[in-house]
Amino acid sequence: MARSKIALLYVGGSIGMKVNQKTGRIEPLESLSEVHRFLPELQKEVSLQFFSVANVGSSEITSDHWIEIAHVIKENYNEFDGFVVVHGTNTMSYTASALSFALQGLSKPVVLTGALLPINDLVGDGRMNIVFAIRAAQLDIAEVCVCLGPHVFRGSRIKKVEASFMETFESPNCAPLIDFSREIHTADHRIVRRKRTLDYKPEFDANVNLLTVYPGMPQSFLDAVLSSGPHGIVLRTYGPGMLSADLFPWLQQVTERKIPIVITSQALRGKVDLHKYRKQLTLEQLGIISGKDMTFECALVKLMWALTQAKTPLRIRDLMERSLVGELDD
């Protein structure tokens, strides 16, 4: 049986490090090909090829990195059965969402993984995570996903919920796609492999603001946001999309300037419902966009992407409120 061909793209993070057995210090791997040395059980069934895209901490990630990762995948798309992207965990949810929109119509998996500890740490998560990610890249799945620990999640649905524990991510509104803890369980709602044409659209407008509403939010702050000339705004509101009536005049100014504004929830689970309360009907009348059950990370990235795909408020609203890659429930 032919070995699966998997491309391993390194962007940064602890998996690309190793513990020096003599000094105990954490050092960069001399070469990405060293990864194969720590995965003897995969050498017979997987052919790995390594690509160094960047070597940055995930806190330094920008939309330029998203575009570069997407470009490397697109340029090598027909040569591999799947792709694994090694990435730091702090901004992985943003990158996973960005790749989901940049690489639509996938016929094979793109799996992001990372770790808190280096790959050769005997009690660490690095080796386990990369083994699971490579396994996931061999399975019947065809979407951008994230694998940390035994669970594989839809990339556009994840949130980082732990700062230092190994079970780093959750997918609050979408069940895991794959579960390795029970042999190998694959969920029915995953997108499966079949022949598709890759729809490559790696453009993002970074001039988007993310605001969290809070009691007593000063008008001067809101005025400063508006005067900075954002191309779009994502608002994290209370519960199903509630906010103070004091904000309505400012919201009207935003929409009059044809700046799209997307409402998301500060709650971990659930969704925005602009029809739930009378006050929220006014939001809809103002032309506010419902983020539904998208995470705020995904809503932010999707708006950055949508601004490059559509020029009218109506078209942007249509893109934002419609599921494109499984990022929301219609």
Contact 327, 298 (CB under 8 A): yes
Q: Sort 213 into a burial class: Cβ within 10 Å, 0-12 / 13-18 / 19+.
A: middle
What is the radius of gyration, based on Cα positions, of the chain? 21
pLDDT of 188: 85
Rounded alpha-carbon distances, angstroms, from residue 75 to 7, 68, 98: 12, 11, 17
For residue 239, give both structure tokens: 């519960």
Q: What's the pLDDT at 115? A: 81
Distance of CA 327 to the CA centre of its chain: 10
CATH of 208-321 given 3.40.50.280, 3.40.50.40, 2.60.40.10, 3.30.710.10? 3.40.50.40
How confident is the prediction along the chain (330 residues), in pLDDT tens digits per residue? 578 999 999 998 767 666 666 776 666 665 566 666 666 677 778 888 999 898 888 889 999 999 999 999 999 999 999 999 999 889 999 999 999 999 999 999 999 998 876 666 655 677 788 889 999 999 999 999 999 888 999 999 999 887 765 567 888 999 999 988 877 888 888 988 888 999 999 999 999 999 999 999 999 999 999 999 999 999 999 999 998 989 999 999 999 999 999 999 999 998 998 877 666 667 878 889 999 999 999 999 999 999 999 989 999 999 999 999 999 997
The whole-number pLDDT of residue 280 equals 60
Q: Measured on CA atoms in the order 22, 27, 33, 36, is the torsion positive or negative?
A: positive
Query: 0.75 cut: is pTM over it?
Result: yes
For 56-93, letters b (16+ CB in 10 Å) and e give eebeebebebbebbbebbeeebeebbbbbbbbbbbbbb
Q: For residue 51, list its beta bridge partners.
A: 9
Q: Write out the E strands in the chain.
A: 4-10, 17-19, 26-28, 46-52, 82-86, 103-104, 110-113, 144-148, 151-154, 159-160, 169-170, 178-179, 185-186, 199-200, 208-212, 232-237, 261-265, 289-290
CATH architecture assignment, domain 4-200: 3-Layer(aba) Sandwich (3.40)
Domain boundaries, the chain: 4-200, 208-321
Please answer whether residues 164 and 113 qualify as being in contact, where contact means their C-beta atoms are separated by less than 8 angstroms: no
Q: Distance between CA atoms of 63 and 115, rounded to whole angstroms?
A: 22
**DSSP 8-state secondary structure symbol assigned to residue 155:** G
